[in-house]
Structure 1
Amino acid sequence: MAYSVIKENDLFLVTDLFGDISTDSTEGFGLYTKDTRFLSHLKLTVNGAKPIFLASESDRNYVSNIVLTNPDIKVGEKLWRESVEIKRTRFIYKGILYETIRATNFNPHLQRFSIKLEIDADFKDMFIIRGFQDGQFGRKTGVRQLASGFSIDYGGVDDVKRSLLVEWMEAPGHVTVSNEGAVIAYYMDLEAGQSASIELFFVPVINETYPQRHSHADAIQELQRMYADWEQRSTGVASNHPVFDSLYRRGLSDIRALLTDLGFGLFPVAGLPWYAVPFGRDSLITALQLLPVHPEIAKGTIMTMARYQGEKSDNWRDEQPGKIMHELRDGELANTNQVPFTPYYGTVDAMPLFLILIGEYVKWTDDIQLFEEMMPNIRRALEWIDTCGDLDESSFVTYNKESAKGITNQGWKDSSNSVVHRNGEYAQAPIALAEVQGYVYQAKTTIAELLRTMKPYSNDNKMIAWSSNLIAEAEELSKLFEKEFWVESDRFYALALDCGREQVETVTSNPGHVLMSGMLNPDRAAAVADKLLSKEMFSGYGIRTMAEGEKGYNPISYHNGSVWPHDNSLCLMGLNHEGFHKEALTVMEGLLAASSSFENHRLPELFCGYSANKDTPIHYPVACSPQAWAAATPFVFIEVMLGMQLDYMTRQISLHPVLPVGMDWLSVRRLRLGSGVLDVDVKRRNETCAYHILANTTGWTVVSH
């Protein structure tokens, strides 16, 4: 990864590997909150020269450690090469970026040198930085020198006052402020082996609301405690497979860094650096992946999505009553309605995914109170599915962009070229995507199951009738789906139906998501599993988004031939649900092999779809990392390796354990279900795997299948 990134709640920092920020960089380096860059330029020099990079530690998401040294400086105050070690340590705590610069003299003599920092803020909106949007924006109103720092101020066209406050513990030797920001200089005289530290605070201020500052020592100690508590409350997983163990730990750390709370509970934002905001689809899928590890994150996600559920018809934002948001932005352009993201509702799958997450969360936790609280939201989401979602009255959920600045394709493959016919022509809206119909089926049957099972609903005739209606609607959808989406010549399902209800026959991963819905008959489910693992679809490192050989196939495209870990994880859920354990193992083994080639065993948002006969998977050039649903992919592995399925009506946990090549034992501890936990060990015995239950306080019965 060619950058360093740290995040805590809704403040995050992206720098180059030196720890610097350059305004003219294309990577969008900076310190961000509320979709605004509060720190746009940060440059450290030693005696006026750029230091030499030695190391950057990024294994912990809450703290960045960068080690530098000086070049050979012969002009002015001479400095022998590599005489001074400079360590930059930074972390974020409660809305403040803390930085410590520690200099150590390794010259055997007294050494005099200066450390200078150039600092500026441009307060640019994220949409402008990404090059997606131009527009009207405010201006910098000045730079003020203060008793223990300085402030760079900005007045926005949205009437929001924004400032970057920079403070220090020890005053610099010299400070210069101008319209271009500030330059601070520290002059150091260090004896051999002596060290000195500079402690700085970078504070984004909005409408003169100042977060409380803590000492560096207290802040980092509290951060460490918070991360230790997160890990302790997580499902404990260990094995003799070091790559998996590392991938699992990395996923836990990445998800913790991506958590944000808008006042309704913790939920995962989509990813860094571009998508550190609430995303309907991404946040919902990540919370679904997290259920075996941290089920409470689903509650925060559900509550946040419910808070922003659509209430009216607004074409500018693609909003309709009952819709779940796609993306929420809070920058200057959004606040002045120059972009429709306040929030924007251009998504077709967030509504059924919202319902699926509610249902699965209640199954895992028995949180009947949340189900009751969400009943109005459930009804509105279902009403949208049956009315506004059926644009062409085809009985399928479809999408069509109305907003002038909205998203053309509104499924998870939302690039403009992702729904393409075999002749190379792009499908025209309204479009019905295969996976969305599976989500709708799963949403209706899941809600129906809860209505039939949970008290007091199971004794309410109206609720029983509603449940029966939902099941009948789901079965009608299943029959219609088989009739209109099945492509006999491919023994597979079409990617979509276009505006003329013509099949988009291109072979893609989308139908793989339908497996987890339970909508397919056994023969058709087997055909889907076979196709997903075919040489055209499976690269060796994962399932491709589009089959090799299709006219639209491109292994270096965003959605038409690349490999997305989260896409694979949803296919894995389906393979496990349908009992295709061998195929699921193959997919897991491919992803594990891929992860060993990425820094810190972190699966990125996506990687190129080239076959595994290459030495290593090829990086996609602008993939987000960390990305929430990629980070949560190894959590799905737990369910798959246990072969775990839940039957809520009978309160049975069904297990059929399988382990990937290279793993002989798996230990799972504190897996929360209901009000209790499950502890289970799995061991390989020749060609089979056996499980042993060490503790079960869940109230559920464990059975083999």
Structure 2
Amino acid sequence: MEYSVIKEDDLFLTTEKNGDIEGSEEMGYGLYTRDTRFLSKFELMLNDSRPSLFSSNDDKNYMASMRLVEVEEDKGATEAFRERFIYEGILYERITFTNYFLEARELKVNVKFDVDFQDMFIVRDFFTGETGEKTGFTYNDQSMEIGYKGKDDVSRETLIEWKESEARVIKEGEVEAKWTLAPQERKTLTFMVQPIINEKRKQTLGFDEALGRLENSYKEWIDQGTKVESDHFIFNKVYQRGVMDTRMLMTDVGFGNVPVAGVPWYSVPFGRDSLITSLFLLPFHPGEVKGTLQTLAHYQGKEENLYRDEQPGKIMHELRSGELASTGQVPFTPYYGTVDATPLFVILATEYYKWTKDAAFIKRIKPSLEKAIDWIDQYGSIRGDGFVQYEQTTADSFVNQGWKDSDNSNVHQNGTLAEDPISLVEVQGYVYQAKNTLSAVYEELGETDRAQQLKEEAELLSNRFEEAFWMKEEQFYALGLDGEGNQIKALTSNPGHVLMSGISEGTRNRLVAEKLVGKSLFSGFGIRTMSEDSTGYYPMSYHNGSVWPHDNAMILLGLSQVGKAEAVKVIEGLLEAAEYFEHLRLPELFCGYSKEDDHLVPYPTTCSPQAWAATASFVFLQSISGVQPDAYQEQIIVEPAFPQGMSHLKVEGMRIGKGELSLKITKEEECYEFEVLENTSGWELTFREKFVME
């Protein structure tokens, strides 16, 4: 990354690599919470000049550090070491100054602050609007406060405090400290920056105490989740990075932890993103997905509202809470323009049950599940053909409302864009899976009539699906149907999502699996969003030829059941791709150039870390270990398939049923051996082997 970013709960900071917030108008650097920038300038000067960056590190996620130096060649240097983190809504920064000259040196430190309180959408030039105004600076002995009164009648303030008596305000927004440092002598300057909304202030802690509490929260997160150990170094590191990134991206907006989409610009709950991320979270910690379900149930659509694309029972797309949103100048309060979040909501609930058999929780959210099914039945089929579609309802609505939401993502083979209402192939799979799996849960709960009704509806959809979406010439499913019911015949990754749903006919699953890892769709590093043989293919595009790790992980959820060899190939490609990125962090996406023709090419702009990319590593674990929980039979099937370079895998503390599963799997040649270290799940273990050709 060309920037530094840290996040904790709903507060995040993005800066230059040297730790400064400068040029915030162009790059959007700043301290943000609730879609508002609470720090737009944070600049450090040593002796009236900007120190040079020596090193910058943010690999811990929760903490960043920058080592800066002011050097006089062949004489020595003054070093400024910046350490920063966020805890309970407060940014802590400690700067340690060290004299590395042979004689005493005068040091003057100036730190400049300012706040523009801009709404996130204004910062990013997405919208303009009527906004409030700053109310000015106020000062105390060791603090300054900058105020703002919004058009929404919300008071916003940024409180900046410091402990050192040597530091004082010399002019508006500028703090200065002066010392004479002996050789090797150190001095520190510590700042606490607190966003305040409607005068709700928090008590600051000491730097070390706050850091210790934050570190303990990360340790607890790691301890409570599934731990892995293998002889595959890259897999271990990618998994560990996924664990840390996922913790960073969790936020509680009042109903339990929910993963936000990604930092810096999508650090809010999204329906689709949060649901898919939570689906991937199940092998790591199934209990953590309840917050997502509860949050989305709370914001479930209640009325018909064209401005927000809201309908009763519909699951939201995006929730914002800044000044423009709260004054109704943007529709994200929340906005509901997504076609897939509603069936995915039901799928996450039923998959959670499959891992936990938590009937009490399912009963608690059952009204929301029923409302979601009602939305599918009453609003989903715009054309009345039994398929679920979307269309642009207003000039401000999203043009495309599936996960590939670029304006040009649905393109016919002749190069023309498909017109709505559009029936996406994966959405029909999601709807089938939602109804079919909810039917199974209802059967368990004794609601046999409703269970039978849902099962019959799912089967009817399956029959229609095969007739409408299968392309005989390509032996593959179409991307979707356009507004006239014609197939959108581009070869894409979308049909890969169908494999997990159960909607597709068995023999066709094998054809789909083979095509997905064939030359036109598989780059060598992963499955492309669009085949290089399709008219719209462009390897640097956002959705028409790039590779998305989460897209591949969604495919893996089904591919692991219908094509073990193909699943291994995809995992091997993505693990190799991870080696090209900082901290072995899989990004949101990368370019789709073939491995045979080029090294991996990063996508120019991408969120990092990004939630569903981070949790893709948990899907790797599930696919490699082959662990498949089944609450209905109270059984755990273990059917592993190792990538090249892995001969043993140890899985500890995987939460299933009422307890945990720990096991060790060893592979010699093509045979797997299993050792159960712990099974307190209360469920029976069944081991299977499938030979995977290398």
Q: So what's the TM-score if we normalise by structure 2? A: 0.97
SS across alignment from 2:450: helix
Q: Secondary structure at the match of 2:26?
A: coil
Q: Which amino acid aligns with 2:660?
A: V
3-state SS, counterpart of residue 70 of structure 1: strand
CA distance in 2, matches of 1:203, 1:614: 50
Q: Could you say which residue in structure 2 is the equivalent of 1:316?
A: 307
CA distance, structure 2, for counterparts of residue 397 and residue 633 of structure 1:
27
CA contact (8 A) 1:143 1:177 kept: no
One-letter amino acid of the counterpart of residue 362, structure 2 = F
- The residue identity in structure 2 corresponding to 1:442 is Q
CA distance in 2, matches of 1:604, 1:211: 34
User: What per-residue deviation string (whole Å, max 9, x for no partner) do you get for residues 106-162 of structure 1?
Assistant: 111101121111111111111111111111111112111223211111111111111
Partner of 1:259: 250
Could you tell me which amino acid in structure 2 is paired with residue 12 of structure 1? Answer: F
* Contact 2:356 2:631 (C-alpha < 8 Å) held by counterparts: no
Cross-structure match for 1:75:
none
Counterpart contact for 1:575–1:583, Cα < 8 Å = yes
Alignment match, 1:541: 525
Counterpart Cα distance in 1 of 2:207 and 2:648: 42
Partner of 1:249: 240
Equivalence for 1:696: 679
1:97 aligned onto 2:69: no
Residues 1:81 and 1:40: Cα distance change in structure 2 (over 3 Å): farther
Deviations 1:200-244 (A, max 9, x none): 011111111111211111100100111111111110101011111
CA distance in 2, matches of 1:331, 1:351: 25
Cα distance in 2 for residues equivalent to 1:173 and 1:485: 69
State which of 458, 472, 487 in structure 2 corresponds to 1:474: 458
Indicate whether 1:9 and 2:5 are aligned. no
1:337 pairs with 2:328: yes
Which aligned pairs between 1:151-190 and structure 2 lie closer than 5 A?
A: 151-178=145-172, 182-190=173-181
- The question of whether the paired residues in 2 share the 8 Å contact of 1:90 and 1:100 is answered with yes
Partner of 1:301: 292
**Residues of 1 paired with 2:598 and 2:584: CA distance?**
16
Question: 1:354 maps to what in 2?
Answer: 345
Deviations 1:618-642 (A, max 9, x none): 1111100000000000100111012
CA distance in 2, matches of 1:550, 1:270: 29
Query: Where do 1:100-119 residues align within 5 Å?
Result: 100-119=94-113
**Of the candidates 581, 584, 599, which is equivalent to residue 616 of structure 1?**
599
From the superposition, tell whether residues 472 and 221 of structure 1 become closer, same or farther in structure 2 (CA, over 3 Å): same
Read off the aligned partner of 1:642 and give its amino acid letter.
Answer: S
The whole-number CA distance in structure 2 between the counterparts of 1:25 and 1:663 is 48
Q: Please give the alpha-carbon distance, in whole angstroms, between the structure 2 residues aligned to 1:254 and 1:615.
A: 29
Letter aligned with residue 439 of structure 1? Y
Structure 2 matches for 1:517-666, cutoff 5 A? 517-578=501-562, 580-613=563-596, 616-666=599-649
Question: Do 1:166 and 1:201's aligned partners in 2 also have CA atoms closer than 8 Å?
Answer: yes
Partner letter of residue 132 of structure 1?
A: F
My pick for the range that moved more, 324-333 or 145-154, is: 145-154
CA contact (8 A) 2:141 2:168 kept: no
* Partner amino acid, structure 1, of 2:29: F
Checking the alignment, whether the CA contact within 8 Å between 1:69 and 1:82 is kept in structure 2 is no
State the distance in 2 between where 1:183 and 1:546 align.
52
Partner SS for 1:61: coil
Q: Does residue 437 of structure 1 match 2:428?
A: yes
1:27 aligned onto 2:27: yes
Specify the code of the residue in structure 1 equivalent to 2:338. T
Q: Which of 259, 268, 276 is matched with 1:268 structurally?
A: 259
1:52-67 matched pairs, under 5 angstroms:
52-67=52-67
Runs of 4+ aligned residues of structure 1 deviating over 4 Å after TM superposition are 79-82
Distance 1:188 1:288 in 2: 54
1:172 offset after TM fit, Å? 4.6
1:478-509 Cα deviation digits (max 9, x unpaired): 11111001111111111011110111000110
- Structure 1 residues 586 and 331, CA, compared in 2 at 3 Å: closer, same or farther? same
Tell me the secondary structure at the aligned position of residue 350 of structure 2: helix
For the 8 Å contact 1:112–1:188, the answer to whether it is kept is yes
Structure 2 residue aligned with 1:137: 131
TM-score (normalizing by structure 1): 0.96
SS in 1 for 2:258: strand
**Aligned residue pair count:** 688
CA contact (8 A) 1:605 1:624 kept: yes
Among the aligned pairs, what percent are the same residue? 48
Match of 1:450 in 2: 441
Q: How do 1:61-100 and structure 2 match up within 5 A?
A: 61-72=61-72, 82-100=76-94
For 2:303 and 2:329, locate their aligned partners in 1 and report how far apart those are by CA, in whole Å. 20
Shift of 1:647: 3.0
SS in 2 for 1:374: helix
Aligned to 1:76: none
Displacement after TM superposition at 1:25 (Å): 5.2
Go from structure 1 to structure 2 and tell me whether the alpha carbon gap of 1:82 and 1:691 turns closer, same or farther (over 3 Å shift): farther
> Secondary structure in 2 aligned to 1:612?
coil
Q: Deviations over 1:379-416 (max 9, x none)?
A: 11000001101111010010112243221111001111
What amino acid sits opposite 1:175 in the alignment?
A: V
Query: Does the residue aligned with 2:567 lie in a helix, a strand or coil?
Result: helix
Distance 2:155 2:611 in 1: 31
Rounded to whole Å, the distance in 2 between the matches of 1:244 and 1:349 is 30
- The whole-number CA distance in structure 2 between the counterparts of 1:415 and 1:176 is 50
Q: Match of 2:44?
A: 44
| 2:27 counterpart SS class | coil
Alignment gaps of 5+ in structure 1: 73-78
Residue in 2 that maps onto 1:201 = 192
- Say yes or no: does 1:679 pair with 2:668: no
- How far off its partner does 1:299 sit? 0.4
Q: Kindly indicate whether the alpha-carbon contact (under 8 Å) linking 2:24 and 2:40 is maintained by their aligned counterparts in 1.
A: no
Distance in 1, Cα, partners of 2:338 & 2:11: 26
Q: 1:24 Cα deviation (Å)?
A: 4.2
Shift of 1:645: 2.4
